[in-house]
Amino acid sequence: MVLQSTLSLFAAATAASAFVASPLDLLGQLPLGSPAAGHSSVKTQCELPPVLSPGGDGLPSSKKLFTTAEALEKQVERHQAVVRVPSVCFDDLGSFETDKRWAPFYDLHEVLAKTYPVVHKRSKLEKVNKFGLVYTIEGSDSSLKPILLAAHQDVVPVADESTWTHPPFDAYWDGEWLWGRGSSDDKNSLTAVMSALETLLSNEDWQPRRTIIAAFGFDEECSGYRGAGKIGPVLEERYGENGIALVLDEGGLGITEMGNALYALPAVMEKGHVDVWFELHVTGGHSSAPFPHTGIGIMSEIVKALEDHPYEASLNKEHPFYNHMQCQARYSPDAIPEVTKLVEKDDLEGLTKFIASQFPLQFLVQTSQAVDFISGGQKINAMPEVTTLGVNYRVAPHDSVPKVQHNVVKHISDVVEKFDLKVVAFEGDEDFAAFAAENQGETRGLPTKVDYNGTLVLSVNQVSHVSPKSPTEGPVWDVFSGTIQHVFAYDGVVVPVGEIMTGNTDTRHYLKLTPNIYRFTPGRITGMENIHTINERVRMDDHMEMVRFYYDFVRNCDASDF
């Protein structure tokens, strides 16, 4: 999961160029919900739907429930119980029956049942593919489509526990932060969703009109094929294609302050994802009489050929980032004047160049290419016979997975020709074959003469295509945006605006359920530290805001007829 604020990164990246004004200079310049004076060309952009406060259902307010010291103490205990379970997803996990590393997931299910007894009493619980959890709370009005709240149970491994200030599965509470692997990603969402539902269902007189589904995969950190990948088809068969009103999962770029505005940045798109693997087979031999290039040497030239060809940035007016910049130009015009000027002039090319020059923000509008894995050789005095390379791509909307595959073949063609390698490229991949056939003029193609004793096999896995863009207007978005504005009320204006995720979530497996998919961990970016690394932790006051959000969002959805 990616949780880094675009706005904060912009501020850091451009401070040296004097593009960023002090936030103190911006306070008080804008009336609540109004655009800045002098920027009339962007006033019509980024209109916000009304703030939506839940009510009329007889339930106590989220502020009353979740802002007391007692509520915080109870939530700390809940979150500690969940974080203490080492439900790690390893890339090489075997079968459920033989791999003992799955055992913590049994423990986690017991913890959830003990911690949230009312949810387990008043909902229907199904276990999909052993460890996938689907809770269904039936609504009274079958004409209303269900909502789906998602999170994942698994966490990434810990490389070295001795490097942590507090042991990663102790769930240490220091009075402000709760430390532990998964405390932010993504048991933060899991605990918040379950706690909101537990509170709602504890009111025995409350019966939702709209069916509520809570779905928790268990291998999102390993791309979700065994968890959400199995849950998605079950829900599609049950409710039909587009049978769900909306899906809300983790993700987005957080909540952050800039100028006199608080920006909430749910992801309304995800980049595509593909891992390309290269397996080079060459003649080995004694290293006392080496070839001019061993397999590792040949592979190093392939790496250089790839890295010499980074992908180009591209931005159009349908891209979420463009709308984000329109909102920023309207509500925080002085924070990055360069951006405001480019938006006012409708200078798409200039805006593209600007973002492309800001590392790592460039990857919001550019396909990333990362050489992450290389392996070869078995002994220091023997030339390697097999060398393996893995390259990870996150595919921008203007590119595609077949285009990435095609470019791989094109960019390594000189190396292939130099060493007269036989290439077996993406056998049986019809999408690649079709794309390559349409773009033959861009490359010399693969060599036809095969007389060198080397074979390069290209393959892919973990393929997901660029997701469709979810709506940022209409009744569903209005409820979503209105709830965000209500929960995160601010002296200035709260601006929910869609963004693109450079990573991927379990939502890749839910695309057929609804066009309304929002990836949003409803917490402030400053309240979640060190995701996927040492000393991961969450500020519990911010976590309480997440519980408030889910509680009020369910209520607002239940009162709506979308």
Residue 152's contacts (CB-CB under 8 Å, 6 or more residues apart) are 186, 190, 216, 217, 218, 219, 220, 221, 224, 227, 228, 250, 506
Distance CA 446, CA 426 (A): 13
Tell me the residue type at 10: F
Q: Is 431 annotated as a binding residue?
A: no
Reading across the β-sheet that carries 124-128, which strands appear in turn?
Answer: 124-128, 132-137, 212-217, 147-152, 246-249, 517-519, 267-270, 499-501
The strand pair at 267-270 and 261-264 is best described as unpaired
Find the range with the poorest average confidence among 138-142, 324-328, 447-451, 471-475: 447-451
Q: Is 99 annotated as a binding residue?
A: no
Residue 345's contacts (CB-CB under 8 Å, 6 or more residues apart) are none
pLDDT of 246 > 60? The answer is yes
Average pLDDT in the 11-22 region?
A: 32
| Residue 152 · residue 220 · CB < 8 Å | yes
Give the pLDDT band (50/70/90) at residue 18.
Answer: very low
In terms of residues, how long is the chain?
A: 562
Strands (E), 429-539: 454-464, 493-496, 499-501, 517-519, 528-529, 537-539
pLDDT of 283 > 70? The answer is yes
Q: Is 185 annotated as a binding residue?
A: yes
The strand pair at 537-539 and 177-179 is best described as antiparallel
Average pLDDT in the 176-187 region?
A: 98
pLDDT for the residue numbered 44: 56
Among 459, 438, 444, smallest CA distance to 410 is for 444
Distance CA 194, CA 117 (A): 10
Among 520, 514, 522, 525, smallest CA distance to 545 is for 522
Specify the residue for token string 């798409």. 348
pLDDT of 449 > 70? The answer is no
Q: Tell me which long-range contacts 439-445 makes (C-beta under 8 A, separation of at least 24).
A: 439/406, 442/406, 442/410, 443/406, 443/409, 443/410, 443/413, 444/413, 444/417, 445/413
pLDDT for the residue numbered 142: 95
Q: Which of 198, 219, 220, 506 is catalytic?
A: 220
At 463 the three-state DSSP class reads strand
| Residue 348 · residue 315 · CB < 8 Å | yes
Q: Is the peptide bond before 360 cis (omega within 30 degrees of 0)?
A: yes
To the query of whether residue 558 is one of the catalytic residues in this protein, the response is no
Q: Is 532 annotated as a binding residue?
A: yes
Give the pLDDT band (50/70/90) at residue 149.
Answer: very high
To the query of whether residue 138 is one of the catalytic residues in this protein, the response is no
Residue 500 region, left (φ>0) first, then alpha (ψ -120 to 50), else beta?
beta
pLDDT for the residue numbered 43: 58
Q: pLDDT tens digits for 396-408?
A: 999 999 999 999 9
Residue 466's contacts (CB-CB under 8 Å, 6 or more residues apart) are 269, 270, 271, 272, 395, 396, 397, 400
Give the pLDDT band (50/70/90) at residue 441.
Answer: low
Find the range with the poorest average confidence among 139-153, 192-206, 305-319, 442-456: 442-456
Task: State pTM to two decimals.
Answer: 0.88
